[in-house]
Structure 1
Amino acid sequence: MLASSSAPMLAATSTDAGTLRARLLRRHAGHASPRQPALLYGLALAVTVAIFAMMLGRLLPVVGGPVFGIVLGIAIRNTAGVGPLFKPGLQFASKQVLQWSIIALGFGLSIQQVAQTGMESLSVTLVTIAAAFGSACLLGRWLRIPSKLMTLIGVGTAICGGSAIAAVTPIIKPDEHETAFAISTIFIFNIVAVLAFPLLGHWLNMSDLGFGMWAGTAINDTSSVVAAGYSYSQTAGDYATVVKLTRATLIIPVCLALVVFQAWRHKKQGGGSFSLAQIFPWFILWFLAASAIRSTGYMPENWIAALQSLAQFLIVVALTAIGLSSDLRRMVKAGIRPILLGLGVWISVGASSLAVQHAMGTW
């Protein structure tokens, strides 16, 4: 009788023990599982590396922080490695932070400031942009360069180097290694231009305004334009800087044209339902709003300087994140052809700028 009455009690105890054991195992398994990726890890890594890149860029302004950012990012990614825990934050930095940097750049572009010099340099700028896109298309097809990489190199050479590449990246959505390769290719020729343009300008006996026009329309990155212009003369540097700012505003119609092309190609390929709002770069509207606010003249100069510094740092953070996401082995597989494409486009831009100025007699 006692044995039969104790059996249910033992069964219940065994059941409770099994349930408790199962709960403990589940709880232990939950603690033992790896942490879920968060944005903070990748952002912190990108910001930390970007700070060092900015410091190196100030020591060597000819190279600049953006170049150091992407080079350091690529070096870390392909030596020490970057774990999956950092991936969400790096993706966020390479896209969202990148767009924020473009918006912040708008506060440095006054519409009144660029209007005067803009009309003077517009004809030369339009010719060089047409030469850049035309040569990129022809050489890119001949060299069998992937379409997105070809577009990035063409836009970067035509407009404003890394900033232009940053602006069109959210539109055409290239792979990280394509963006990194395009930026690296563009900045190689920026460094060459800073060293070669002043020597060539003196050899060609160019005037200060003529050299400023040439540097502002044929050198890609703003920092490289400033370095080359002021190494020639103060007047050349001042003129080149304004021409470069005017040239940079043309990234807006270029981005809008790319949006329309993306929509047309999607429809042609039978992509089904499609909304232009899904790929429209809304950050461009905020960029225009920032430029309009800057043009009112009510913003304090110290605010504008702070926003420009912030924009430059955000660009370095975004490009660093792209470098940290880039697989060098995939870039190496691209071979020498993208560099040859960048060289050909760069030569066509510089030569077309000189040809138009010579025809206009502005030397």
Structure 2
Amino acid sequence: MPKLFPLTSPLLQKTIFIVLVLLILFSPFFSSPLALLAGLVVGLLIGNPYTKYSGKASKHVLQGAVVGLGFGINLYQVAETGLSGIIYTFASLAATMGIGLLLGRFFKTPSKLTHLVSSGTAICGGSAIAAVAPAIKAEGRDISVALGIVFILNALALFIFPWVGNLLHLSQEQFGIWAAIAIHDTSSVVGAAARYGDEALQIATTLKLTRALWIVPLALISGLLYKDGKAKVSIPLFIVLFVAASVLNTFLPALATITPAILWLAKKGLLLSLFLIGANISLSSLKSISAKPFWQGLILWIIVASTSLAIIYFSS
């Protein structure tokens, strides 16, 4: 694994990796940004000794954590917010795809790469890219570049969004809606919202996973646009299980006795997934991103984030 300072032996790499995992799981001092930062230190400076396993592990741990967070959602409490959030979601999806297409033409980036970056920005980052890529028959390099852009912007969002939210004194509801709309991947949405507050976490998680359902029509439409016939897509299982957990928590009061333990495990799983995501970012993955697509993705993200923030801030 490429790293900045090849000073560590494989044994020391494994020791540092395992110690950090244990600290994240059992120390009360690790926050979402700190967990991601620890992962980036491993991936870029020390070297990830478990690259073969940590990529898949981060995905499964994150999905399990999201399902666990469903037990902290009361559907009655978020119904009204969810309805207003859907309006923001629908408008932002259409606007993001349109602006992304215009930026792609301006930067003269390949159309399929533009479509992948726009899709990842519009819905839920890597998940949307993974679903849309086969529908448009995207090349492997385009997929890796789009994912790399999303990973970098996700890392930035985890630090920037809570700072902006506190600076503008956003309410829990405002921040939750903004994070769900303007941050790419579920991991960073949940991480940023968890840092901001429990109510923001509930709103952001619910709205983000509701937003993820738009992957299905987006992939189908993308396949038709690129004349790929019928695109085979399905709703991710963890979204179904998240909804099921929310339903159980809402209508089975007896679960209140074990809910705190489930939520504790879910939040620890979130921290671990953020660490693993950071550990999977290497210098080679950063170098694979050329300037034009990155600037395209960055500008699109800034437009989406600033516009949605202005609408949410001034309409509340």
User: In the aligned structure 2, how far is the partner of 1:303 from the partner of 1:152?
Assistant: 38
Q: Is the 8 A contact 1:53 1:72 kept in 2?
A: no
Q: Any residues of structure 2 matched to 1:80-159 within 5 Å, and which?
A: 80=47, 82=49, 86-140=50-104, 142-143=106-107, 144=109, 146-147=113-114, 150-151=117-118, 153-155=120-122
Shift of residue 129 of structure 1?
4.2
User: In the aligned structure 2, how far is the partner of 1:264 from the partner of 1:167?
Assistant: 19
The answer on 1:71 being equivalent to 2:40 is yes
Which residue is 2:210 aligned to?
250
Shift of residue 296 of structure 1?
1.6
Shift of residue 93 of structure 1?
1.0
The answer on 1:192 being equivalent to 2:192 is no
Shift of residue 115 of structure 1?
0.6
User: In the aligned structure 2, how far is the partner of 1:351 from the partner of 1:116?
Assistant: 22
Point out the structure with max Rg over C-alpha: 1
Shift of residue 153 of structure 1?
4.4
Specify whether residues 213 and 129 from structure 1 end up closer, same or farther in structure 2 by C-alpha distance, changes over 3 A only: farther
Listed one character per residue, the Cα deviations across residues 114-173 of structure 1 (whole Å, up to 9, x for unaligned) are 113323444334434444444344335544273576157404xx5xxxxx4465466357
Q: Percent identity?
A: 17
TM-score of the pair, normalised by structure 2: 0.66
Listed one character per residue, the Cα deviations across residues 247-287 of structure 1 (whole Å, up to 9, x for unaligned) are 22323422333453576589x447xxx9947x653333333
Shift of residue 72 of structure 1?
3.4
Which residue is 1:350 aligned to?
306
Q: Is the 8 A contact 2:44 2:281 kept in 1?
A: no
Shift of residue 328 of structure 1?
1.7
Q: Is the 8 A contact 2:116 2:132 kept in 1?
A: no
TM-score of the pair, normalised by structure 1: 0.59
Specify whether residues 312 and 280 from structure 1 end up closer, same or farther in structure 2 by C-alpha distance, changes over 3 A only: same
Shift of residue 213 of structure 1?
4.9
Specify whether residues 269 and 118 from structure 1 end up closer, same or farther in structure 2 by C-alpha distance, changes over 3 A only: closer
User: In the aligned structure 2, how far is the partner of 1:130 from the partner of 1:58?
Assistant: 40
Q: Given residue 57 of structure 2, which amino acid in structure 1 is its aligned partner?
A: A
Which residue is 1:294 aligned to?
249
Q: Is the 8 A contact 1:152 1:179 kept in 2?
A: no
User: In the aligned structure 2, how far is the partner of 1:328 from the partner of 1:288?
Assistant: 37
User: In the aligned structure 2, how far is the partner of 1:198 from the partner of 1:114?
Assistant: 22
The answer on 1:332 being equivalent to 2:287 is yes
Which residue is 1:224 aligned to?
192
Can you give the 5+ residue segments of structure 1 that lack an aligned partner in the other structure?
1-42, 159-163, 203-207, 231-236
Q: Given residue 151 of structure 2, which amino acid in structure 1 is its aligned partner?
A: I
